[in-house]
Each structure stands twice: as structure tokens, then as C-alpha cells.
Structure 1
Amino acid sequence: MLNKASAFETFKYFLECYFNMSADYSELEKVIAEFNSFEDIKNRKKLRAELATIPKLTEWEAIQTFILKNGMRRMDEERTKWFIEVIIDHLK
């Protein structure tokens, strides 16, 4: 599932444009609030839907590689799960 380039295009966009290397983990909720403010409901719903499918895939190594490639962040499985949960919990 993760091998389809368009499968997680909104998550990729979030990583590249919002939670990029200039942001710190302590700013994650602020970054999500900015995403909520600047993006229309369609993009917010799309990001939520993409992220909701990730735990069902259980391909944590592939997800970590995706985040590393698109967000330039190395995360272990625990942090990856936390990261996705925080985003989902704060999306409006």
C-alpha cells in the first residue's frame, strides 16, 4: 500500500510544508493548528483519512522510511505511532 506514490500525498505535503526540518517536536501541535488554519476542510479530511489507514497497514518500517524521505526525520516505531496519533487528535 505504501508503494503507491499518491497514497499519502497529503501526508507528504504536511511533512514537506508544515512539519519540515525547521519545526521542532515541541511545536507539533502549533504546526497542526497552522495546517488547520491555512488548509481547507478537504485537505484536512484527506490528511486524517490517510493517517487513519497507517496503523492498519502495520508496515512501520515502510512508514518510517516514508517520513525520513519526505520529512527528513528519523523516527522509531514508538515515535512514529505517537506522531500519527497527535496529528489525528489535533486535526479539525
Structure 2
Amino acid sequence: MQIKFRCCKRKTRSKKERNANARSYPSGTKKLSYKEQKELEDLEARIPQIETEVERLTQSLLEIDSSNYIEIQTVTKSIESLNTEMDIVMERWLELSEK
């Protein structure tokens, strides 16, 4: 004689049921920590500052006497360093905004 215990039988859930109970975040994404959120806000504030500074230096470059190559070189290096900083800031902003 076989006895079946229904109370102990494990019920398997379908894939659809398991997915319905899954977290609301898509896989691979997570919420930003407070520190990351603060960093993202700082980056978003820094981007327009860099753009404004590059525009200002570019305009000053147009106004420099063409025979003053030392000043032209100095301003050009400043623009290059700001563009490098912009690349770094934008890359980090992209990393944080995709989380």
C-alpha cells in the first residue's frame, strides 16, 4: 500500500511565475549608492563648467596676436587639458548613468 503525502509535496513553479516575483530592476543594473549619486550630480555640474571654459579659451585664442606664439601655446595646452578632463568626466558620468 502506497501513501501519498500531499502536504509535503514540493510544488515547482513555472518560469513565468518565477519571473513575476523577480526584482523590478533589470538584470545587471542596480541603484546608485549615496556616494555615487553625489558624484553623478557633481559631474553633471562640472560638464557645463568645462564647456564654458573651453569656449572662453577658444575665443581668447582668436584674439591673441599671431606673433605671440608662447601665449598661443599656453592657451592651446589649457584647452587640450580641459578636453582631456572632459573625456574623463564624460566617461565616468556614462558609467554612473548606466547603473
TM class, shorter-length: 0.3 to 0.5
TM-score scaled to structure 1, two decimals? Answer: 0.35
TM-score scaled to structure 2, two decimals? Answer: 0.33
The structure that has the greater radius of gyration is 2
